[in-house]
Amino acid sequence: MPSASRMTRNLDPGPMRPRREPVNVGAMAITSFAEQTVPPTPPPWHQRLVTVRRRSDTDRPDGIDIGIAVGCFLMCTLPILVGLISGIGATPVIAILGVAVVAPLIVRRWWPVAALVGVSVVLCLSSLAGVRFTPWVSNAGPAIAVAVFTLAYRRPRRESLFVTGVAVVATGIAALVGFHQYPGQDQNLVQLLLAAPAWLVGDTMRTRREYRHSLAVQQRDRAEEQERRIRAEERLRISRDVHDLISHTLSMVAVRSGVARLVLDEQPGEARRALSAIETASRSALDELRRVLAQIREPGQRYEPGEPGLAEVADLVDGLRHDGLVVEYRVIGAPATYPSLLQTTVYRIVQEALTNVVKHANTAHARVEIRHTVSELSVSVVDDGPASRDGRPTAVAGGGSGLGLIGMRERVSLFGGRLEAQPRPEGGFAVIANFPIDETDRAC
């Protein structure tokens, strides 16, 4: 390993954390939140009483809009027109004002401010003209309450409160003027009594609607953030796999090709074995790279089945042995049935550590040990440090980027374990990873 990486490194993530279940991000199908479209459904009838729809949704009022306006006219003006209740003023004028006061309610969902202004103007004109087109004093009726309610529900609080206040003041002044002009007619401030509770109810419902909308926005933001996190984890996992695969394979190819070049004339059999090992490693690397790329194209496929595990560590060690490097492999304890992702993690740690030995250690001897206990699975890769090779080809020299050790630390921390990578006092370098094991980890 390079001198920079020979500095003491304590990659222990700290005190043992509570065991986290490993997350297999490779098996997650990443589906864009925007792709999860749901066919639109019409809102319930009671929501359409006040909901303003876009002009593009419909170019004319529906039955509910017309029904509210007709209902107000039938309840307030029609009894006077048919003679059930007496009004004040000529019948044509009563009919015109009765229709005019409810007509704005048809478009209240598109123009709530204009609807309230139109209702208020009709009420003011009726007070100034001395016409009573409803059975109650000051032409009291549901028209102004419906208009105020819709305004408070659809517009911001400050705007709706201002427009409602102006409307109430205008109708109150008109009623006061009409009272002095027509002393025989009673006038009062009933419009205020109708507008105040209507505004409170509408504003409350608007606040509730905005709160629910904010919750929906937060939920969407959380879903998008989760999608970004999953994508980032997927990219990180793929980058680690590609790094391990390319680094290990190229290191072995460099070493084996160097051996083949030096012994080609004197030991052609050894050269053929080195070239055969290069061919086997290259084909295996291509197969693994295809699996990684297939996961990018088809994120829904499972991650574990095609990945190497503990059973493949022996072949990994054999592939790195050559006549200038002796690698001992030892298994202590009875192996248990571990999750596939944990086995792949152990394999990748051994692969990365041995790759660093071949590339940087310039050593003639290394040891790989996997120890199985009831509560822990540990793996160690230790080398004896630089040694003279008597003319034999040495490992490829060069500085490391440090990404391999970072990747090993991330893999180990995923299982709540700890990793130590540091020089040995007697020489060489040691990489030791410990994984806590419980009963759930022993299940297939």
Tracing tokens 């007496």 back to the chain, one arrives at 86
Tell me: do 8 and 94 sit in the same domain.
no
Tell me: do 348 and 235 sit in the same domain.
yes
Q: Which ranges of 332-391 does DSSP label H, i.e. alpha helix?
A: 340-356
Q: What is the DSSP letter of 426?
A: T
Flag whether 37 is in a domain. Answer: no
Tell me: do 211 and 238 sit in the same domain.
no
Residue where a domain stops, chosen among 182, 201, 220:
220
pLDDT of residue 35: 40
- Cα separation of 272 and 269, whole Å? 5
Q: Is 139 left (phi over 0), alpha (psi -120 to 50) or beta?
A: left
* Joined tokens for residue 249: 């394979």
Tracing tokens 């160097």 back to the chain, one arrives at 258
AA letter at 369: E
pLDDT of residue 275: 81
What is the CB neighbour count within 10 angstroms for residue 376?
13
pLDDT of residue 135: 81
Flag whether 226 is in a domain. Answer: no
Tell me: do 416 and 279 sit in the same domain.
yes
Flag whether 40 is in a domain. Answer: no
Q: Is 211 left (phi over 0), alpha (psi -120 to 50) or beta?
A: alpha
Residue where a domain stops, chosen among 166, 197, 220:
220
Tell me: do 59 and 201 sit in the same domain.
yes
Positions in the chain short of pLDDT 50: 1-40, 45-46, 48-57, 300-305, 388-399, 443-444
Burial call 153-165: b when 16+ CB within 10 Å, e when fewer = bbbeeeebeebbe
Tell me: do 250 and 372 sit in the same domain.
yes
202 and 152 Cβ atoms separated by less than 8 Å:
yes
Give the closest residue to 342 by CA, choosing from 443, 424, 259: 443
pLDDT tens digits along 366-410: 999 999 998 899 999 999 887 544 444 444 344 455 567 787 888
What is the CB neighbour count within 10 angstroms for residue 321?
14
pLDDT tens digits along 194-225: 899 999 999 999 999 999 999 999 999 998 88
Tell me: do 356 and 422 sit in the same domain.
yes
Flag whether 51 is in a domain. Answer: yes
Flag whether 176 is in a domain. Answer: yes
Helices and strands (H and E) in the chain: how many: 12, 5
Residue where a domain stops, chosen among 220, 252, 286:
220
pLDDT of residue 117: 94
Tell me: do 235 and 178 sit in the same domain.
no
pLDDT of residue 224: 87
| Segments forming the whole domain that contains residue 208 | 45-220
The domain total for the chain is: 2
Flag whether 225 is in a domain. Answer: no
pLDDT of residue 1: 38
- Cα separation of 247 and 249, whole Å? 6
pTM of the model: 0.49
Tracing tokens 């693994």 back to the chain, one arrives at 288
Biggest CA–CA distance in the chain, Å, is 131
Tell me: do 355 and 254 sit in the same domain.
yes
Flag whether 382 is in a domain. Answer: yes
pLDDT of residue 439: 65
Q: Which residues contact 253 (CB under 8 A, 6 or more apart)?
A: 278, 281, 282
Tell me: do 235 and 216 sit in the same domain.
no
Give the closest residue to 412 by CA, choosing from 365, 353, 333: 353
Tell me: do 265 and 161 sit in the same domain.
no
Tell me: do 259 and 127 sit in the same domain.
no
Residue 374 sits in a domain whose CATH number is 3.30.565.10
Flag whether 266 is in a domain. Answer: yes
